[in-house]
Amino acid sequence: MTGAAAVPTGAVAPPAVATRWAVVDVARGVAILAVVAFHLIWDLGDLGYLDWQINAHRSGKVAGRVIAGSFLALVGVSLVLAHGRGIRWRRFWRREAQLVVLALAVTAFSWFYQRDELVTFGILHAIAVVSVLTVGFVTLRPVFAYAAALVALALPWVVHLPGRSPWVSWTGLAEGSRPSLDWQPLLPWIALTLLAIGLTRQVVAASYEPEGWAHRLRIWHPGDPVTRALAVTGRHTLSIYLLHQPVLYGLLSLG
């Protein structure tokens, strides 16, 4: 992967062949394991193994938002590392098509599984839309991403749409949403992606200073089994996200 800001004077030129940032893979690994743990607790409560429903408790709702927010921030990081030197549109749209198909599959599954809590705009839907809306910022100066993030944070305070219909609730500007197994509104959460884009561009630019902390972060590789396992896990987050819940729920249902 690569990033793209101008190389500072005296800095080492970017390598001709891009490399992955292992620290980002580890962060993704931690995030997806948090999702698995969250859903495991959810399933235990739903099936009666626990006397506690994580989705009905304030702490559970906060944990869910933190986990979802971490993924939206990682979207910004990934966009810069993948497209910061110039948007590779074919690669971008191929990934986008995959996300849209999988998001629609989640919606279809929720229709059969629990129609009263249909997923109309979950985390995969949000990632697909956020990616399209923010990819243009990866080649701009960070200040533009920061300014857009401030707008995203302010809009829910000044714009209000009536109703809870899926046609308006996805924006984050409505009064709320109808019950859903997974609901991740666009606003203000897109601000996390925009902030991550700006910060990642600055970190990537600084990473070409050979003695700096950002350079050490860029070349860091996991040295112990735990972080190596997290890095491997982080390279397969989408597959794990799609498969873990059917596997967990299916196994627990057999008990």
Amino acid at 225: P
Exposure pattern of 196-212 as b/e (b: 16+ CB <10 Å)? bbbbbbbbbbbbbeeee
Amino acid 205: pLDDT: 94
Cβ atoms of residues 1 and 21 within 8 Å: yes
Structure tokens, 181: 């197994």
Average pLDDT over residues 141-169: 95
Of the candidates 141, 131, 138, 13, which has an alpha carbon nearest to the alpha carbon of residue 72?
Answer: 131
Ranges of H-type helices in the chain = 22-46, 58-83, 89-113, 123-134, 142-158, 166-169, 190-206, 213-219, 225-234, 237-253
Amino acid 108: pLDDT: 94
Amino acid 158: pLDDT: 94
More confident residue, 113 or 216: 216
pLDDT tens digits, one per residue of 231-244: 999 999 999 999 99
Q: Please count the residues of the chain.
A: 255
Amino acid 19: pLDDT: 61
Average pLDDT over residues 56-75: 93
**Band (178; pLDDT cuts 50, 70, 90):** confident
Average pLDDT over residues 143-157: 97
Amino acid 213: pLDDT: 93
Distance of alpha carbon 150 from alpha carbon 158, whole angstroms: 13
The share of the chain scoring above pLDDT 90, in percent, equals 71
**Band (179; pLDDT cuts 50, 70, 90):** confident
Find where tokens 């986990």 sit: 67
pTM: 0.89
**Band (6; pLDDT cuts 50, 70, 90):** very low
Asked if pLDDT for residue 114 goes beyond 90, the answer is no
Amino acid 176: pLDDT: 80
The share of the chain scoring above pLDDT 70, in percent, equals 92
Q: Mean pLDDT across the chain, nearest whole number? A: 89
